[in-house]
Structure 1
Amino acid sequence: MGVTVRRPPSGIVSVLFVVLAGCDGGTGVLSSPPEVELGESQAEIRIANSLSTDALVLNAIGTNPVANGLLASSRLTALFSVGGGDPRILKQLHDPDAQKFMEYLVSCALGPNQVLWYYNPRGPTPGPRVWGGKAGLCTSWLNSAPSQACLNRVSGCLLSRNNALGRRVELSIRGEVPGDPSIFYLEPVTKPAEYEPTTASKLVSFGPCTEQTTGAQRDCGWSADGIGACVPGTPVSVGAGGAASCPGPSVGSSSGAQMVLRVCSGVVGCDSSGSTNLGEGEGSCSGADPIVSFTCPAEGYYSVMTAAWDSDEVGVANVAVSENSRSRYALSEKQVFAVREGAFYGNIFEPDALATKVYVEEIRGGGEPSRFVVRGDDAVIKGAIYRKMYSCYDPSWGSGSAYSTYRVCALPGSGANCAATVAGPCWDTANEAGKCAVDDGPMVRGDGDYEECEDIHGLLWTEPVTTFLHDPCGPVTARTRAKKDAMTAQSPDGLCERTIRPRKDVSP
């Protein structure tokens, strides 16, 4: 889900590579930097949810008491490095779910100009790798042991970013970091997502062109520009200098190289042959400036991508929507992510509060190379595996408790292998008192973050993370398969219905 930790991104890993390659036991300068894990675009500040609940609750680092305790009490560079690190931690990286857990931990904890190097022992190509930071919720963890507030904040972020389906769901996370309101700042303009939701793979159109390519139908070298809202079924025209009718006024403008546009339905970009492609434009009225006219899709949202007509050239597209379109363009984060889901809080980094144990066993003998086998990852545990993690749900959900169970449990149909305990509604309902004392924290007024939330024992947690969705059904719909094909989970009809419709504030 697209977490929106809104600090302007800074620092590009490739620039930092030469400096960092020799740090913390690095073995020398490599010919090229390893690709940053998680693949977040430097232009996209939102963080996405595609960590499967199964990987979160049954991995050999988070669910290993020794590794979990080391994380809670040590700097990250002491535990992970290319040329050293703690062997008790590094052994657990033979578990692919442990690596996925760490990708998300680093992305939550460190900032966009920070990276954590480690050695990946898994084949077929073992070697140095790097995880990239994003949210900046505990930047000091890189070089010093984390505070309790840091651990709680990162725990909430990790929990907010998982779903049983393991699909990528764009979301906005909000909260408070005392003394730094920029951490959870809301984007004035939100860009389309660059990743395909089902596979969580980056769309090829947002990758670089490996050779000179021209035209609006190419699938490389595109940039995400903005998101619009419109009245379904009505005509819409967006342009970067082109005209919707000939003759007619220009819509938007372009400068530099000749520019092209692509429009996709929804809040995710698309490739040229994708089913969500609504149209492409590379000129209008015998001119070179583009415009795209299309019918507003049923969901009422569209995304715009821009690129130079020639991939070797550089230009700027100032996209606008025509005055006669019943549409609003360049929506803010608050407008795109209008569905308040709930809050996540607690502490994952409590070794004594783990309900089970996962570990990697090294098997030697027979003259063969050692084999590493993950043990305990097929456990089925009733309720929460992280027994000090909690969630509460927004009272607008029609079936809040059921929704939350599907959101935080790997086997939601049975209420097993949950990442957290559902504490109840975040705010008062007609029948139940809410768990949080504040429904809009004072640091950023109007962002709707729940603060000061209690768990089922009455203990107060002051570092909750509140999530907002674009698609209410995104985290809980579709079928998923658990490890070892032990069980399938499918959300029941009506699970994501809401009793209070959110105000989307998109009418022109």
Structure 2
Amino acid sequence: MAIRSCRSLLVPVSLLVLAFAGCGTAIHDEDGSLSPSTQQSEIRIANSLTTQALVLNAISANIDSNRKLSLQSLQSLFDPVSGDVNTRRRLGDPNAQQFMSYLVGCALKQGDFINWFDPLTYTPRKWYGQAGLCPAWAGGVPTPDCLERVSSCLLARNNALGRRVELSMRGEHRTYATGPNIYTLEAKTRPADHHPATGQPLDSFLSCNPTTQQGPARDCGWTADGIGYCTASGLVQVGAGGLTSCPGPAPVLGSSNMQTVLRVCSGVNGCDHDDERNLGEATGSCAGASPVPVVSFTCTAGQYFSVMAAPFSASTTSVLLPDVAVSPDSVVRYGLAETEVYAEREGAFYGNVFDSKALARGVNVEVVQYGKGQEARYVVVGADVQIQGSIYTRMFSCYDPAWASGAAYSSNRVCALPGANANCAATVTGACFKSLNPPMPGRCAVQEGPMTTGDRDYEQCQDTLGNVWQHPVTTFLHSACDTVQPRTGAPTCERT
């Protein structure tokens, strides 16, 4: 039975902003300061949208605003002056703001944005596009195919913990009738630009202020180069033109068009200077005899590492063009492709969030406003309701058969209350494929779509009634437990 309650926001505006920014929402990502993908390149974007924000926000979980999303352009619905007054009031719910930032990120392409007015801070703001799955929604009514593509993206980017995790999203969608697949693969994967534990953006990838900063110890002005993997333990050298042994003459490792600094970090994320994941950094080699760097570090079997590069001086105006290489006698592979870094196939996500008639019975989150202008206060009503199963009855997910306990994993992935199988963002339908050897179909008729070779995307996936959905998103992780919390005594994220 649904129990309605309210979530009061009767606190100072400044505290609301701090709380919203500090709950793993990755506002910097949705505000467009990062560039994780374009419509011509891979779609590898973070999924720190919490399940709670996805399933119980005052936009998609409000019958009126959900219906209007499917019938209007984003520009007209959220216009700061002429937009729908009730929908704009519902942005007094921070979860609604977070939901919309992800919706626009999935729908629009990079460079596009939607203007809106934030009633909590009383300021104009923007939501920025990223993936480009439905760019026409900015100024027009979305098609059913558009709504399904964005729904799949939203579900793929949600997790109960609100962790910021890099996802490799794969599927099939052309930008136009004869264009390339929007879901392509990265030939050389770049290190992620946030801290893996906190989800906060790394200072090292931001611009330098002042620009006079120099050397490898500075935490600004760096670029992500590539990711490597150690097949056995041993000493590894990474260079951008430096001498491999001293004194010279000696072979050089890699090349660079200017004096360069390098930094090597443990894992698939970049790092700052004082980070314990910093394996080494250099501005030259041979005690200054060579102005270009070689970094030496000890690598253990099975370890991933990331390489960052930068000009020696942040004031350099020329474009840095390093050719980073690893020593040929080392036990390492470098410049890994996306399929090598993100190899754990998680499952498929599909359906339609934007069907107001398919909201679970008892769901209708509303915002009540008290006062006007900067003195306004907001109360969110109905956001604490508990619904058995899925809030969106036309959203579905299936799991890769390699999970030791696929049902338990999926419940932790898509449910805000996984222990009770409640407040879920989708209904778990079962294994996407039941058996690979011999091949036996599960919920999806295809386990690799034809558009992009080697991406292993599930296609033509069924819901619980046998209806086939044509726009699933298949996600791949770097590590199996990236998006769920391991549970003692339960194989929540174990792989067979």
Q: Tell me the TM-score range normalised by the shorter chain.
A: 0.7 to 0.9
Q: Tell me which residue corresponds to 1:429.
A: 435
Does structure 2 conserve the Cα–Cα contact (< 8 Å) formed by 1:394 and 1:427?
A: yes
**Are the aligned partners of 1:40 and 1:47 in contact in 2 as well (CA < 8 Å)?**
no
Give a deviation string over 1:412-468, Cα, whole Å, max 9, x none.
111111100100000123998500011111111221111100001111111101111
Number of equivalenced pairs: 451
Output the CA distance in 2 between the equivalents of 1:400 and 1:90: 39
Q: In structure 2, what is the equivalent of residue 361 of structure 1?
A: 368
Query: Does the CA-based 8 Å contact 2:181-2:452 persist in structure 1?
Result: no
The alignment partner of 1:449 has SS state of coil
CA distance in 2 between counterparts of 1:289 and 1:332 reads 26
Give the aligned partner of residue 200 of structure 1. Answer: 199
Aligned twin of 1:302 = 305
In structure 2, relative to structure 1, the CA distance for the partners of 1:149 and 1:238 (3 Å cut) is: same
1:78 correspondence with 2:68: no
Amino acid at match of 1:326: V
- Decide whether aligned partners of structure 1 residues 368 and 392 sit closer, same or farther in structure 2, where only a CA change above 3 A counts: closer
Q: 2: CA distance between counterparts of 1:122 and 1:370? A: 8
Residues 270/92 of structure 1: CA separation in 2 closer, same or farther (3 Å cut): same
Q: Give, in whole Å, the separation in 2 of the partners of 1:148 and 1:376.
A: 28
Alignment partner, residue 180 of structure 2: 181
Higher RCO structure (Cα 8 Å, ≥6 apart): 2
> Which of 498, 501, 506 lines up with 2:495 in the alignment?
498
Cα shift at 1:223: 0.8
**Amino acid in structure 2 at the alignment position of 1:42:** S
Amino acid at match of 1:204: D
Residue 135 of structure 2: which of 134, 139, 150 is its match? 139
Alpha-carbon distance change, 380 to 397 in structure 1, aligned in 2, over 3 angstroms: same
Q: How does 1:100-115 map to 2 (within 5 A)?
A: 100-115=98-113
Q: Are the aligned partners of 1:477 and 1:491 in contact in 2 as well (CA < 8 Å)?
A: no
- In structure 1, the residue corresponding to 2:218 is in which secondary structure? coil
Q: Deviations over 1:253-312 (max 9, x none)?
A: 1113x1101111111111111121111111002211011111225652111111111110
Do the aligned partners of residues 375 and 88 (structure 1) sit closer, same or farther apart at CA in structure 2, a change above 3 Å counting?
same
Corresponding residue of 2:473: 465
Counterpart-to-counterpart distance in 2, 1:358 and 1:196: 34
Secondary structure, aligned partner of 1:307: strand
Q: Counterpart of 1:487?
A: none
Change (3 A) 1:53 1:297: farther
Q: Distance in 1 between matches of 2:411 and 2:33?
A: 28
Aligned positions of 1:19-30 closer than 5 A: none
3-state SS of paired residue (1:410): strand
Query: Structure 1 vs Structure 2: percent identity of aligned residues?
Result: 51
Q: Deviations over 1:462-495 (max 9, x none)?
A: 11011111111100126xxxxxxxxxxx575432
Alignment deviations for residues 110-154 of structure 1 (CA, whole Å, 9 cap, x no partner): 11121111111112xx21111111111101111110000110010
| Pair 1:492–1:100, CA change in 2 (3 A) | farther
1:243 to partner: Cα distance: 2.2
CA contact (8 A) 2:37 2:131 kept: no
Amino acid aligned to 1:111: K
Alignment partner, residue 156 of structure 1: 152
Equivalent in the alignment of 2:30: 37
**Alignment partner for residue 338 of structure 1, among 333, 340, 343?**
343
Aligned twin of 1:416: 422
Q: Match of 1:244?
A: 244
Q: By how many angstroms is 1:316 displaced?
A: 2.6
Match for residue 321 of structure 2 among 309, 316, 324: 316
1:92 maps to 90
Aligned-pair CA distance for 1:105: 0.5
In 1, Cα distance between the equivalents of 2:307 and 2:429?
A: 40
Q: In 2, Cα distance between the equivalents of 1:198 and 1:94?
A: 30
Q: Cα–Cα, structure 1 residues 44 and 194, in superposed 2: closer, same or farther, change >3 Å?
A: farther
SS at match of 2:322: strand
TM-score (norm 2): 0.87
Partner of 1:227: 227
Distance of 2:354 and 2:456 partners within structure 1? 27
Counterparts of 1:392-403 in structure 2, within 5 Å, are: 392-403=398-409
Q: Does 1:127 align with 2:136?
A: no
**Are 1:255 and 2:251 matched, yes or no?**
no
What residue number does 1:373 align with? 379
Preserved CA contact (<8 Å) 1:441 1:450: yes
Give me the TM-score of the superposition, normalised by structure 1.
Answer: 0.85
Residue 433 of structure 2 aligns to a residue in which SS?
Answer: coil
Match of 2:209 in 1: 210
Q: CA RMSD in A?
A: 2.1
What is the rounded CA distance, in whole Å, between the counterparts of 2:151 and 2:66 in structure 1? 12
Equivalent pair of 1:425/1:432 in contact (CA under 8 Å)? no
What is the distance in 2 between the residues matched to 1:73 and 1:492? 47
TM-superposed CA distance for 1:35, in Å, is 7.5
- Secondary structure of 2:86's counterpart equals helix
User: Gaps (5+ residues) in structure 2?
Assistant: 1-26, 39-43
How far apart are the structure 2 equivalents of 1:492 and 1:159? 27
Counterpart code for 1:81: D
- Residue 297 to residue 50, structure 1, CA distance change in 2 (3 Å): farther
| Separation (CA, whole Å) in 1 of partners of 2:97 and 2:459 | 31
Letter matched to residue 65 of structure 1: I
Distance 2:149 2:108 in 1: 12
Query: d(CA) in 2 for partners of 1:454 and 1:432?
Result: 15
| Conserved? CA contact 1:44–1:191, under 8 Å | no
Matched, 1:328 2:333: yes
SS at match of 1:103: helix
- 5+ residue gaps, structure 1: 1-33, 479-489, 500-508
Change over 3 Å in CA distance of 1:70–1:242 after alignment to 2: same
Q: CA deviation at 1:233?
A: 2.8
Are the aligned partners of 2:231 and 2:333 in contact in 1 as well (CA < 8 Å)? no
Q: Report the equivalent of 1:506.
A: none
Asked whether 1:50 is paired with 2:43, we answer no
Counterparts of 2:480 and 2:471 in 1: how far apart (Å)? 24
Query: Secondary structure of the residue that 2:390 maps to in structure 1?
Result: coil
C-alpha contact (below 8 Å) 2:181/2:451 kept by paired residues:
no
Deviation (angstroms), 1:175 = 0.7
Secondary structure in structure 2 of the residue aligned to 1:316: coil
Q: CA deviation at 1:386?
A: 0.9
Specify the code of the residue in structure 1 equivalent to 2:416. Answer: A
- Kindly state the Cα deviation for residue 369 of structure 1 after the two structures are TM-superposed: 3.5
Aligned 8 A contact 1:266 1:299 in 2: no
Cα distance in 1 between the residues matched to 2:136 and 2:488: 39
Please say if residues 63 and 357 of structure 1, whose CA atoms lie closer than 8 Å, have aligned partners that are also in contact.
Answer: yes
User: 1:362 is aligned with what amino acid?
Assistant: Q
- Residue 244 of structure 1 contacts residue 291 of structure 1 at CA under 8 Å; is this kept in 2? yes
Rounded to whole Å, the distance in 1 between the matches of 2:235 and 2:374 is: 67
| 2-structure distance, mates of 1:39, 1:48 | 13
Q: Give the AA of the match of 1:277.
A: N
CA 1:299–1:56: 2 relative to 1, 3 Å: farther
For 1:301-350, what per-residue CA distance to the aligned partner results, in whole angstroms no more than 9, with x for missing partners? 11111111111014332111111111111111111111111100000001
Classify the secondary structure of the residue corresponding to 1:170.
Answer: coil
Q: CA deviation at 1:190?
A: 1.1
CA contact (8 A) 1:425 1:435 kept: yes
